[in-house]
Amino acid sequence: MDQNAITSNDFNGDKMVLVEDITQKPILKGNLMKDFRGDLIIVNGGDAPHKPASSGRIQTNRGEFYPSIINAEWIYVANTVRLVCRNGLAFG
């Protein structure tokens, strides 16, 4: 995982990373992204969910918002690990 990826600890202290919904690619600090209106915003950081029903927050150059405004979500860092077999095929 890129060292500039936006990470935060959840309510249990487990590390999470902010990713794009569809691609599951980590969002990096300073990424320029489009919000649901099509406006460009800069993502500066975020806070992982503080309870099970929470979606967490993101900090941008325009304030603090839910991650869904940029089609993003928080996932556990363990979910970003890719397993590579000896034949070079990647899984996960």
- State phi, psi for 77 to the nearest 5 degrees: -55, -35
Q: What is the pLDDT of residue 1?
A: 73
> Which residue range forms the structural domain that includes residue 77?
7-91
What is the Cα–Cα distance from 33 to 31, expressed in whole angstroms?
6
Residue 83 is predicted with a pLDDT of 45
Query: Is the residue at 28 inside a domain?
Result: yes
Assess if residue 61 is contained within a domain: yes
**Is 22 among the domain residues?**
yes
Q: What is the pTM of this model?
A: 0.82
Question: Does residue 66 fall inside a structural domain?
Answer: yes
Q: Classify residue 75: in a domain, yes or no.
A: yes
Per-residue confidence in pLDDT tens, the chain, 92 aa: 789 999 999 999 999 999 999 999 999 999 999 999 999 999 999 999 999 899 999 999 999 999 999 999 999 997 654 444 445 555 45
Residue 35 lies in a domain: yes
Q: Is residue 81 part of a domain?
A: yes
Q: Is residue 1 part of a domain?
A: no
Residue-level pLDDT at 56: 97
Closest CA to 72 of 32, 23, 30, 29: 23
In the chain, the number of structural domains is: 1
pLDDT for position 89: 53
